[in-house]
């Protein structure tokens, strides 16, 4: 499922919010999002790291109308592996009245666009037409937006015990008081006790993460002191990991090689910044010709929503898997 989300919810073309203005939905439409870190964010490293790892929905409303623009690149190589390069571009806009606009592209083929306007959710995969429907609940648009935003939190979680923050210093960014901090490679990586492993890393498809070694890590971040919003973040990391020994069973998920096996290389680059603070254009519905008037194949549409995480997976699906 995670792979399908990455492939179908991503692509790489610059985008802008559809022009023209609107009153927007009531603020309650985006209510119930995670609580922000609170006023006067201190300079303690653990608090600043928490701010960098929070979802977009935790700070979007307190920060006010704005756009988050993100570019990420990953490059994987290794003996016997084809070179794999992934470029991702993300734009997220919080508009007046809690309107949302999200676009996430991977290369020029794959992507997802979302608009949340007047209690209507507009969704499309690149380059299809939009599907217009009611959200499953009031938080669904924010959940989908958080998934698109999640590259920064996910990369910091991956680097995890190899990451440390330098001393914070007071700066001003976009006219707001902020803490600026360096992201550094820890000289001695933290060791996890057996019971402290990330539960998700026990999944077959994620076990390679346990063999990760970070050889180079640099970056910087500026965090708004009032809302905890990451106003700017840059990360560069060069890592190695144990190459898989081969397919494990009918699932096709590779089995992690024993220690001492061949090592692959992984390079990560990410830049994320808040722009257009307080100055975003209005977010409007797509033109009628870009909207599917009637969804044919109702079951196929439900299955598409489950694959993309828009709807909970039917428990019966799991019975079909090994």
User: Tens of pLDDT along 262-291?
Assistant: 889 999 999 999 999 999 988 999 999 999
| Count of all residues that appear for the chain in the document | 322
b/e sequence 82-100, b meaning 16+ C-beta within 10 Å:
eeeeebbbbbbbbbbbbbb
To the question of pTM greater than 0.85 for the whole model, the response is no
Q: What is the pLDDT of residue 10?
A: 33
Q: How many other CB atoms are found less than 10 A from the CB of residue 264?
A: 20
**Spatial separation of the C-alpha atoms in residues 148 and 104, rounded to whole Å:** 6
Mention every residue, 6+ apart, whose C-beta is less than 8 A from residue 255: 204, 244, 245, 246, 247, 248
Would you state the structure tokens that stand for residue 178, as one six-digit string? 């902020």
User: Tens of pLDDT along 62-106?
Assistant: 999 999 999 999 999 988 778 999 999 999 999 998 899 999 999
Q: What is the DSSP string of 131-157?
A: EEE--SSTTHHHHHHHHHHTHHHHHHH
**Spatial separation of the C-alpha atoms in residues 4 and 192, rounded to whole Å:** 30
pLDDT tens digits for the chain (322 residues)?
333 332 233 333 333 344 433 333 333 333 455 666 655 788 899 999 999 999 999 999 999 999 999 999 999 998 877 899 999 999 999 999 889 999 999 987 789 999 999 899 999 988 889 999 999 898 999 999 999 999 999 999 999 999 999 999 999 999 999 999 999 999 877 654 444 455 666 666 777 888 899 999 999 999 999 999 999 999 999 999 988 766 555 555 555 555 557 889 999 999 999 999 999 988 999 999 999 877 766 677 777 788 878 888 877 665 544 4
């Amino acid at each position: 499922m995670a792979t399908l989300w990455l492939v179908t919810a991503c692509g790489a073309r610059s985008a802008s919010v559809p022009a023209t203005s609107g009153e927007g939905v009531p603020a309650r439409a985006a209510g119930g999002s995670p609580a922000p870190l609170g006023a006067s964010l201190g300079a303690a490293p653990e608090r600043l790291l928490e701010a960098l790892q929070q979802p977009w929905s935790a700070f979007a409303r307190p920060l006010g109308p704005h756009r988050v623009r993100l570019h990420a690149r990953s490059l994987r190589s290794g003996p016997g592996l084809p070179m794999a390069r992934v470029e991702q571009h993300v734009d997220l806009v919080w508009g007046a009245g809690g309107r949302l606009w999200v676009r996430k592209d991977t290369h020029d083929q794959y992507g997802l666009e979302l608009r949340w306007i007047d209690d209507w959710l507009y969704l499309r995969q690149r380059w299809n037409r939009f599907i217009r429907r009611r959200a499953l609940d009031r938080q669904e648009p924010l959940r989908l937006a958080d998934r698109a935003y999640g590259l920064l939190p996910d990369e910091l979680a991956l680097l995890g015990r190899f990451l440390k923050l330098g001393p914070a210093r007071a700066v001003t960014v976009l006219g707001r008081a902020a803490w600026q901090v360096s992201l550094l490679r820890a000289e001695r990586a933290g060791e996890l006790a057996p019971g402290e492993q990330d539960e998700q890393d026990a999944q077959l498809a994620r076990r390679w993460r346990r063999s990760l070694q970070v050889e180079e890590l640099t970056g910087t971040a500026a965090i708004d002191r009032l809302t905890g919003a990451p106003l700017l973040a840059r990360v560069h990391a060069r890592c190695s990991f144990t190459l898989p020994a081969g397919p494990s069973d009918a699932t096709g998920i590779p089995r992690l090689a024993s220690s001492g096996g061949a090592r692959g290389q992984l390079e990560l680059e990410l830049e994320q910044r808040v722009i257009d603070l307080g100055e975003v254009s209005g977010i409007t519905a797509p033109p009628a010709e870009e909207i599917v008037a009637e969804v044919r194949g109702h079951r196929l549409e439900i299955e598409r929503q489950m694959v993309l995480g828009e709807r909970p997976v039917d428990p019966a699906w799991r019975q079909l898997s090994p």
